[in-house]
Chains A and B, each alone.
Chain A
Amino acid sequence: MTPLVSRGWVASWRCVRLGCLMIAEAAVGTVVGLALLLLPTGIGFSLLPPAATALRSLSDRSRALATSWSGTEINPPDPLAVDPVTRRRTQVGAILTDEGFWRDLLWSALDPIVGGVLVCLPPTLIVHGAFGVLVQPFLWRQIIEANGGDWWYTFMPVTDTATMLAALALGAGFLVTGVLLAPALLRLHSRWSRVLLAAPRSTELARRVAWLTDTRSDALGTQAAELRRIERDLHDGAQARLVAMGMTLDSATRLFAVDPDAAYRLLVEARETSNRALDDLRNLVRGIHPPVLADRGLGDAVRSLALDCVLDVHIESRLAGRFAPPVESAAYFAVNEVLTNAAKHSGAREVRIVLEHDGGVLRITVTDDGHGGADSSLGTGLRGVRRRLATFDGALRVHSPMGGPTIVTMELMCALSSPKTSSF
C-alpha cells in the first residue's frame, strides 16, 4: 500500500510539473504562430528562429521526461537546422521545410488541451479532496454563512453535521482517487506525447538506412580481414609445413638405399611435421568456428571456455535451443574476449555468466568480482566486440565503477530456433 501511495504522490507532483510545462508550450507556441503570421511584414524573420528553437527545446524536454518518468522512448526528430551564422532567410527556410517543426507546433496547440485534461485531473482531485477533508469540516458553518445559507460540496448540499461528514467522506474519496489515478494518467500522457512528438517515419527510416549502411560496411570489412588472416595463416602454417614435409620425404626417398638410418630419421621428422601441420589447421578451425559451438551451441561452448579459463567461472544458461550460426559465433567470441579481459586486467577471482533469451533479445551478462574501472572505449578487443555485435543490432555496455564489480552486458537481436533433438 505504501509504495502505491508514494508512487501516486510522486506522479501527482509530476503532473503539476507537466502542467507548468504546458503553460510554457502554449505561450511559446503562440509566439511561434505570431511569428508565422508576421512573416510577410519581415518582423517574423527575426522572431521565428529563436521562437522555433525554444519550442524545440521544450519538446525535447517533454520527450526526456516521458522517457525518464514512464520509460516511453520517443525518437527525437533531426535537430533544427538553425545556424546563427547563416542569413535569416535561410534559417526560416530551413525551419519551414522541417517536418519536426510543424509537428512541434501541432503539439504546442494540442498538448495543453488534451494533455492538460489528463495531467490536471489528479492535482485537481487532490486539492479538491483535501479541501473536503481538511478545511470544510472545520469551516463549514462560516462557509455557509458567507454563501448566504446555501452551500454545496461538489454535488453534496452541506447543511448540518451529518452532511458535513458525508462531504468529508466524499473528499477522502476524491483524494484517494487522485493519488491512485496519477501514475496511470502520467503514462497515458507519455503515450499521447509519443503520438505527437516521435520523429517522422521518414526520419526513422533514414536513420535505419544509415545505421544499416554503417554496420554492413563494418561487417564486410571484418569479414574481409578475417579471410585475409585465414589465407595468411594457411600460407605460413599448414601449407609451409606440407611443403617442408614433401622435401623431407623426398630426401628420405633418395637416402633410402644409401643410408637407411638417415632416411629413418627424416621419416620421423616428416611425421612430426605432419602433426604440427594438423595442429595449425586445428587452431585455425577453432578461430573460425569452434567445434563445440557447432556441435552443442552457445551454452556448452561458453561452458567449454569457462573450463579453460584461469578464473572460477559460474555459468547460468537459460537458453532452450539454438541460434543462427552467425549469432552464436558473434556471441561466443564476444564472451571469449570479455573473459580474456577479465582474466588479464580485472584482478577478479570469480566470474558469473548469465545467458538468457527474452523477447527476441539474446542477453549475456558477465560479472566479475575484480577491482573495476574498466572502460569500454579503451581496448581494441572490446571495440571489436562492439562492432561485431552491431551487425546484429546488438549492443555492449560496460558498468565498472572503481572498486568493482564490473558488469558487461551484451545484447543481440535474434530468434531462438527449436531445441535440437538428440538421437539418444
Chain B
Amino acid sequence: MRVVLAEDLFLLRDGLLRTLREHGFDVVASVDNGPSLLRALLDERPDVAVVDVRLPPTFSDEGLQAAVAARRSRPGLPILVLSQHVDQLYANELLADGDGGIGYLLKDRVTNTEQFVDAVRRVAAGGTVLDPQVIAKLVSRSDARGMIGELTQRERDVLELMAEGRSNAAVATTLHISESAVAKHTASIFAKLRIAPSNDDNRRVLAVLAYLRR
C-alpha cells in the first residue's frame, strides 16, 4: 500500500516512517511542509496519506488545508489527519465532502501501534475514523440536548465505538460481547434514534455522525 507521510518534527516523522514500513506500507513520499505535501498528494496518487495538521510555513492548519484542497481535486483521496489537539470544527471540515476515506486522530494514538495501523488501513479502505475524544464530546453534547436519552448504557457504548468508525467485529472485541449482540444493539439504536439503517459500514458511520452533529 502506497503512503504519503507529512510531519515536520524529525523524531516523529522517523518513528512513523519506521512503524509504517514495519507493517508493510510503502512510504512513497515523506515531506515536512504544506506546499510539498499538496504536490506529493496530487503527483504520487497514494493509497492513503498520514498528515500532521500543523506544518510549516505557517505552523497553523497547513496540513488540514492541504488535505481539503487535495480532496477537492481528487474526491475521496484517503487521508488520515493527526493533530496535537482535536477540534469539532476541523472534524466537520474534513467530513464536509461526505466522501469517506477520512481519519482524524490525536497524535497520541500513534503510541498504540496496532490501533494506529488499523486506523490507517480503515481510512485507506474508504472508512471514516474519528478520535474517541471527538466522539465523546459529540455524544455528551447530544446527551445534554436530550437526543440520546432513550439509549441504554450499553447502546451508548456501541454508539460511541460505531461513530469512531469501528466495524461490528471491532466493537464486539472491545466490549467483550458477541458480534450478533452488537448487531442487535445497532438495530435498536437505529430504531430509537430513527436513523435509516444501512448495510454499508461507512454510510452507517456517516449517518450516526450526522445525527450526533445535529
Contacts and interface: CB of A to CB of B under 8 A. Distances in A.
Sorting the interface of chain A by its residue count into under 10, 10 to 19, 20 to 34 or 35 or more gives: 20 to 34
A286 B85 contact: yes
B65 A424 contact: yes
Contact of B111 (A274, A422, A423): A274
Interface in B39-85: 54, 57-58, 60-62, 65-66, 68-69, 84-85
Contacts of B108: 274-275, 278-279
B88 interface: yes
A49 to B, nearest CB: 64
B66 A308 contact: no
Interface in A257-306: 271, 274-275, 278-279, 282, 285-286, 291-292, 294-296, 300, 303-304
A96 B85 CA distance: 66
A294 B60 contact: yes
Nearest to A275: B108
A278 B107 CA distance: 10
Given A308-B141, A423-B34, A423-B58, A282 B65 contact: no
Given A423-B62, A424-B38, A424-B65, A292 B87 contact: yes
Given A296-B60, A308-B141, A310-B145, A271 B85 contact: no
A307 interface: yes
A295 B65 CA distance: 11
A278 B105 CA distance: 14
Nearest to A277: B108
B88 A304 contact: yes
B34 to A, nearest CB: 6
Contact of A275 (B35, B38, B69, B111): B111
A423 B35 contact: yes
A377 to B, nearest CB: 29
Given A285-B85, A292-B89, A304-B87, A423 B57 contact: yes
Contact of B85 (A274, A291, A303): A291
B89 A300 contact: yes
Nearest to A421: B58
B145 A308 contact: no
Contacts of B144: 310
B84 A308 contact: no
A424 B34 CA distance: 9
Nearest to B65: A424
B145 to A, nearest CB: 6
Contacts of B69: 424
A307 B141 CA distance: 9
Contacts of B61: 295-296
Sorting the interface of chain B by its residue count into under 10, 10 to 19, 20 to 34 or 35 or more gives: 20 to 34
Contacts of B137: 308
Nearest to B66: A424
A281 B106 CA distance: 13
B88 A282 contact: no
B88 A308 contact: yes
Interface string B116-151: 000000000000000000000100010011000000
Contacts of A424: 34, 38, 65-66, 68-69
A304 B34 contact: no
Contacts of A278: 106, 108
Contact of A271 (B65, B89, B112): B112
Contacts of A282: 84-85
Contacts of A423: 34-35, 57-58, 62, 65
B92 interface: yes
Nearest to A294: B60
Nearest to B62: A423
A325 to B, nearest CB: 13
Given A296-B60, A423-B35, A310 B66 contact: no
A291 B84 contact: yes
A285 B107 CA distance: 15
A296 B62 CA distance: 11
Q: Which of A279, A292, A309 has most chain B Cβ within 10 Å?
A: A292
Given A271-B112, A282-B84, A304-B88, A310 B141 contact: yes
Q: Which of A285, A422, A423 has most chain B Cβ within 10 Å?
A: A423
A336 to B, nearest CB: 14
Contact of B65 (A303, A309, A422): A422
A286 B85 CA distance: 9
Interface of B: 34-35, 38, 54, 57-58, 60-62, 65-66, 68-69, 84-85, 87-90, 92, 106, 108, 111-112, 137, 141, 144-145
Name the 8 nearest CB pairs between A and B, nearest first: A295-B60, A307-B88, A304-B89, A310-B144, A424-B69, A295-B61, A291-B85, A424-B65
19 contacts: A274-B111, A286-B85, A291-B84, A291-B85, A291-B87, A292-B87, A292-B90, A294-B60, A296-B61, A296-B89, A300-B89, A304-B88, A307-B92, A310-B144, A310-B145, A422-B65, A423-B65, A424-B65, A424-B66
